[in-house]
Chain A
Amino acid sequence: MQNQTVPSDSPLLELRDLRTGFALREGYVKAVDGASFSVARGETIGVVGESGCGKSITARTILRIAGTNDSELGGEALFRRRTRDGRPGEVVDLLKLAPNGREIRSIRGAEIAMIFQEPMTAFSPVHTIGNQIIEAIQLHHPVSKDEARATAIDMLRRVEMSNAERRIDAYPHQLSGGMRQRAMIAMALVCRPQLLLADEPTTALDVTTQAQILALIRQLKAELGMSVMMITHDLGVVAETAQNVAVMYLGKVVEYADVRALFHDPKHPYTQALLASIPKLGREAGARLHPVKGMVPSPFNRPRGCPFNTRCPKAMPGVCDVDMPGPTTIKPGHTVSCFLYGAGDTRTEAAQ
């Protein structure tokens, strides 16, 4: 066990070349294909990418709930646990833990929590939200039911659920979409996790409700001092919430940068294309959009070489469609996997 000499800037979670694959009848799907980035304490990291690029699977792999039996994992996911008195504790590799063992279960929900796009998947329809939150508390803390209930009500108030004392006894279907999302956030945060994995928490919501929920997450993050991994396909949400951003394409993190660099000085052609293709609210609206050509390739049929080469306007024939570029550090905290900026920091990694 490591002791108190942990430097304060050491990351809470560090993913090193994370890989998750599924062997299906149709072929082998590399859902996550070498994702490396780290999440610092108190930071919000945005993970963006289009449908099927492996955002959700990355989060699920960290929690070890990605199709447990049929998935093949690789790389490392180093997570710094917290000691009983709340200080930084030992580092564990989440991928080495037994998928349903005691250790991962004591982390899941207590130290790393997750919220989903569709709250109905997190709640059982046959129990009241109160009972489900109370159960979540008692799973990790030896407290009486009344204490747990008091904590649950307090948490529901924090997520600005009006009438928390009454709503705690409601069934999930009796709440509106926004309220359900609040209840799910309450359940996720009730054990004060160090890391919140938010998988498209506002995609199914209206803009005004989305604004409420994003404000709520931001405020709770400050209050509880947790880190947030904000998974979304909406670049606007990322720009508003994240400090650092990982852009994913076909299971790979193609660019990682702080949010300003990413939006003002994107390096990877995919990031550039993505930013050019979204209509922006404001003065330049109405200007012609510049779409990325073609479509995302099927996961069973990924292109050889750089995953983006078939759609990339700057692809270099003979280079990009042959080898896979590795992550190249452009400046501290900004890495790109693209041959325009080099073949990768370490050739060995790129050769894989």
Chain B
Amino acid sequence: MLRRILGRGQPVAAGVPAATAEPTQPLETETEKHDYAVASEWELMWYKFKRHRLALICGVVVLLLYVVAAFVEFIAPYNPEAQNPAAAYQAPTRVHFVDAEGNFHLQPFVYGTTSQRNPDTFELEFVEDTSVIHPLQLFVRGDSYRMWGLFDANLHLFGVEDPNVRLYLLGADRQGRDMFSRIVHGTRISMSIGLVGVVMSFVIGIVVGGISGYFGGTVDLVVQRIIEFIRSMPTIPLWLGLAAALPADWSILQIYFAITVILSLIGWTGLAQVVRGRALALREEDFIMAARLSGTSRTRIIVRHMVPSFMSHIIAALTLAVPEMIIAETALSFLGLGLRYPAISWGVLLQEAQNLRSIALAPWLLAPGAMVVIAVLALNFFGDGLRDAADPYKR
């Protein structure tokens, strides 16, 4: 066998296996370290990432947010557009465990509310009707919806059985719509606009950055100047200008895509620079040259050597780019230049809450802002953790 593979040169003494060098000693104790020895890049990243407590927790939060975004209709107890003039600006419904008689209930419950106008101030006031207990239940039937455009359903994750009793976990807006349901629905657009925008910037960034880093030289120089030029432009006025130019009669879907394109036109520069930096570093790595000298084709080098070496870095950079997009969308919509009613995003919700009265009377209308903060922080910490773990081979 040996001879067949390597059998040139002076004949090896027949029958004596050519033990060239004494096998090196086993590393560590064979079994104990075995997992580590055969751990792939992603496993090593996972070991490293796990040590970041905060990043791990934030990762879970991000995951939850995207699960919510995927199942909004099911998670939201009501149709976000269901109006109820009687409940305008109703404060968040209180969830009780202890009833009016002081008895403890294991299952949380709410009381129904009746509204009446205060004769002095003419404000609507809400009074809890403590005679009937309405327990909160899982999997209740309620408003019907069409899930992912595929099938009709009316099952909701939680709610109150009695259709006459409304549950306003985060209060109601001017038209008596349930804020909680609206925020949940806003999650879909707000979280996805970041993803879709990032995917677009990723495509631009990876192509431009890859070209810049792979060819280097003059191409690189020109691309770098362009990137610097784009980066030096103040982003907010630019967004505003571009967004203001969108035709007013476009559909939600058109605006949605227009906005993501605008965001990614500006957001790709950072990604391009990450890709370029990695490509330049990789060009110097001996293993790329070794692959070339082994006769490996150019395509295979790119696909099997270069792209996998980028992947972890790019995923980290992408994760860090998502929150920027979320903030940008929120800002644009808040200024009335992004998405508009009837689209629901956190920015649109904030825009609707844009008056003094609501801040004074119904501060719960600002809850979408809190969601933006949570989402952005979680994504940032998660991305930081990923970035630190992205190069598990660092010596």
> Residues of A at under 8 Å CB distance from B?
25, 293-295, 298, 301, 310
Contact = CB atoms under 8 A, between A and B. Distances in A.
Nearest to A25: B51
B28 A301 contact: yes
A294 B28 contact: no
A36 to B, nearest CB: 30
A269 B65 CA distance: 63
A295 B28 contact: no
Contacts of A294: 24-25
A294 B51 CA distance: 32
B22 interface: yes
B51 A295 contact: no
A310 B25 contact: yes
A16 to B, nearest CB: 33
A200 to B, nearest CB: 18
Contacts of B28: 298, 301
Interface of B: 22, 24-25, 28-29, 51
A294 B25 CA distance: 5
B48 to A, nearest CB: 10
Contacts of A298: 28
Nearest to B32: A301
Contacts of B51: 25
A50 to B, nearest CB: 15
B395 to A, nearest CB: 12
Looking at B24, B25, B51, the one whose CB has the most chain A CB atoms below 10 A away is: B25
Contacts of A295: 24-25
A9 B33 CA distance: 51
Those 10 A-B pairs whose CB atoms lie nearest each other, nearest first: A294-B25, A301-B28, A293-B22, A294-B24, A298-B28, A295-B24, A295-B25, A25-B51, A310-B25, A293-B25
B47 to A, nearest CB: 10
11 contacts: A25-B51, A293-B22, A293-B25, A294-B24, A294-B25, A295-B24, A295-B25, A298-B28, A301-B28, A301-B29, A310-B25
Nearest to B25: A294
Given A25-B51, A294-B24, A310-B25, 8 more contacts: A293-B22, A293-B25, A294-B25, A295-B24, A295-B25, A298-B28, A301-B28, A301-B29
Contacts of B25: 293-295, 310
A139 B276 CA distance: 44
